[in-house]
Structures are given as C-alpha cells and as structure tokens.
A = this chain, B = another copy of it.
Amino acid sequence: MADEENAYSYTTRATQHLTLDNLDDSGFKMWRGESLPELTLAYECWGELSDAADNAIMIFCGLSPSAHAASSAQDTSPGWWEYMIGPGKAIDTDRFFVVCANSLGGCYGSTGPSSINPETGQKYGGDFPDVTVEDIASAGYYLMRELGVEHLHAAVGSSMGGMASIAYALQYPGEIDYLVSISAATQALPLTIALRSLQREIIRSDPNWKRGQYGDDNRPLIGMSLARKLGLVSYRAADEWNSKFDRSRISPEKRSDQRFSHEFEIENYLEYNAQKFVTSFDPNSYLYLSRAMDWFDISEHGDSIATGMSKLDVTRALVVGVTTDILFPLRQQREVAKVMRDTGTDVEYVEIDSVNGHDAFLIDDTHFTPVVKKFLDESLD
C-alpha cells in the first residue's frame, strides 16, 4: 500500500486504497502533459450502491482534507464534513452511495509528492508532475468506474473541490446529473493567485525545502507553518474574529518575554492551528494543490469561459456563495451561476449570509444543510 512509506498519511480504519487498473499502459495522463506511471487513491464510502448503479455522489475536497469526510461503522471519528454526510442528512447515505477520495497530489493516502515513484524507488518530492484540478477530477472519474459507477447522480465540491466538480462535468459531459459548486470560481483571479503564490514562496524560502527533496526528519516546517497561517487568515472573515477574539491578550504566564513574541489571542489561535497542520500535511502537496487552483480556468476548456462552460451537460446545478468570503467572493459565485445559465444550464443560485468566510461550508451547518438538502431531495423527485 502506497501509504506505508508515507510520513503523513492521515487515513482511518474506513479508508480504502485502490491502485487504478483501468489506465493506459503509459499510466495516468495528466492535463499538462506529464504522466504518472501508477495512481493509487485513498477513499472512503458511505451508503450502498443501488443495483442500477444510479445513486452515486462523489465529494471533491478543498486543498487539505482527507478522504474521511464523515464517520461510519468502520471508523466512528467525525469527518471533515460530518454535519453534511450521513443517514438522513443533506447528503443522505440512506439513499445515496457517497464516495470521497483524497485528492491526487495530496498526502493522505493518494498518490502525491510524498509517495514513492515506482520508477526510481524514491519519493517524488519536487519531481512529482504538475497537478491540475482537471487531474483531480479525472482521478475521481477512474476511481468511480473501478467502483462500478459509470455515471454520477451528483458531484459535490467546495472551494478547490467545487472547481473539481465543474472540471469533472466539463471533461466527461453528460456523465453527471446534478452538480454542486460551493465557493468555487470559473478561474483564479489575481488576489487569490497572489495569496497562494506567497504561501508557496514562504514554503520554498524555508532552507529545508530543498526544491522539494527534503527528508521526513528535515521538513520545511517553519515555512509550512507560516504559509498555513496565511491560508487561515484568508479563509475566515474579519467580523467573525472581532467577535471571537477582539483584542484579548494571551495570559502573561503563557507568553514569551521576547520582543515581538505573540501577545494577542488571535496570534495564539493561528499558532495552534498551524502547528496542528504542519505535523500532518506534506509541504509539497500544499505547493502542488495550491498551484492547481491558480491554473484553474474554465476558458481552457474552450476559447473563453462561456465556450468552456457550454460543454456542461447536467440536469441541474446548484451554485452557492458566502457573503463574507474574501477568497472566492460573491462576485465570482454570481459569475459561475450566470455563465452556466447563459450557456443553457438550469441553475439554482444561493447566497449564504454566514460570518464564517470561505470556510463557512465546513462550519455553518445551519445555513448550508437546508440548501444542499433541498437541492438533492429535489434531484430524486
């Protein structure tokens, strides 16, 4: 199993690994031209596939989650989208066969930069080929076929996962009935490119990065920690932090007396969350997946965003945006919905007024559950 040599691999007892058998002799062909000789995907699933194999939902994740989107009998620990997926929930596992894979390029059991390259016997590291959102979507496509699913009832994704849902639909027209894109975009714009580029540069500037060829005991942890903090800042909204932290100070006995050391609770919060992250996430995976988002541009599927999006062939799409999202702002959500409508797709567009910024889909059960539930319930009418 690929993850045995992997220092990060956050997998659960419910995680399964499948090395794709349905590829060409040359392996997995990637969107930007390179190939992977072998592709293993770590995934979890919930519910039962119907005899007609017509009730499958694929969940595409954001940059950092594992395949463990929800608990199950095999592993009862809460998943990263626990409120959304389960029996009787919005993504109802009594009715749907739900699959979530760790993204290609990730570090939680799927083939990525921390995996061993079978051609060299060494970790890929910085020699892993360029990963795009299209590749993440294609990997999901091949996985579903191996699981006996030729056609998806729905693809559901948030953030990078929303892009991947759309990329799946554009690459395999007619193979998804219902599409859910939450806090995604038709293409990355300069502010988000700048924020992600800076995160990558912070990691690359860590002397331990060594162009991606670092050892498990000598990872660029400082760069990874600082990059994660910048990510966290961009995922949340100012008002949420005002009410949560205001100007609260760290208690003096917990503070260093060094000048410039952390003094405010907000600094402590970022430190705590960054430290939790760096022990479990591969900095190279961060670089590859972050760059994949910069590259995403629906106009690459045609001559323009509109001709690209016109390849969409779904029964209905749900597009969701969050008022306080600074990373994928409402303006981009409106554009996704508009260009889908303009090119002939039946779209339900919802703006959620949440304080939680770009991360709202992970947190704001109250606002998100009814929106997703209604859309998927109606998909069965």
Interface positions of A (Cβ within 8 A of B): 126, 130, 187-191, 193-195, 197-198, 200-202, 204-205, 207, 211-212, 222-223, 226, 229-230, 233, 238, 241-242, 244-247, 258-260, 262-264, 266-267, 270, 287, 291, 294, 297, 326, 329
In the complex, which residues of chain B have a beta carbon less than 8 angstroms from the beta carbon of A195? 233
**Which residues from B are CB-within-8-Å of A326?**
238, 326
Pair B198/A233 contact, Cβ less than 8 Å? yes
Residues of B within 8 A of A194 (CB): 229, 233, 241, 266-267, 270
Known: A190-B245, A198-B270, A238-B329. 9 other contacts (CB 8 A): A189-B246, A190-B242, A190-B266, A193-B267, A195-B233, A197-B264, A204-B260, A211-B258, A264-B294
Mostly, the A contact residues are helix
Which residues of chain B are within 8 angstroms of A229 by Cβ–Cβ distance? 194, 198, 201
Complex alpha-carbon distance, A262 and B244, angstroms? 36
Q: Is the Cβ of A189 less than 8 Å from the Cβ of B130?
A: no
List 10 contacting pairs A-B, 8 Å CB cutoff, sorted by A: A189-B238, A190-B241, A190-B242, A193-B247, A194-B241, A195-B233, A197-B267, A198-B230, A201-B226, A207-B207
CB–CB B198/A247 < 8 A: no
A117 to B242, alpha carbons, bound, how many Å?
39
Contacts of A190 in B (CB 8 A): 238, 241-242, 244-247, 264, 266
A7 to B238 alpha-carbon distance, docked (Å): 38
Question: Nearest B residue to A326 by beta-carbon distance?
Answer: B326
A139 to B258, CA, bound (A): 25
CA distance A241 to B331 in the complex (A): 14
Cβ–Cβ contact A238 & B197, under 8 A: no
Q: What CA separation (Å) do A58 and B165 show in the bound complex?
A: 57
Among A130, A191, A223, A291, residue most surrounded by chain B Cβ atoms (within 10 Å): A191
- A163–chain B nearest beta-carbon distance, Å: 14
CA distance A245 to B188 in the complex (A): 12
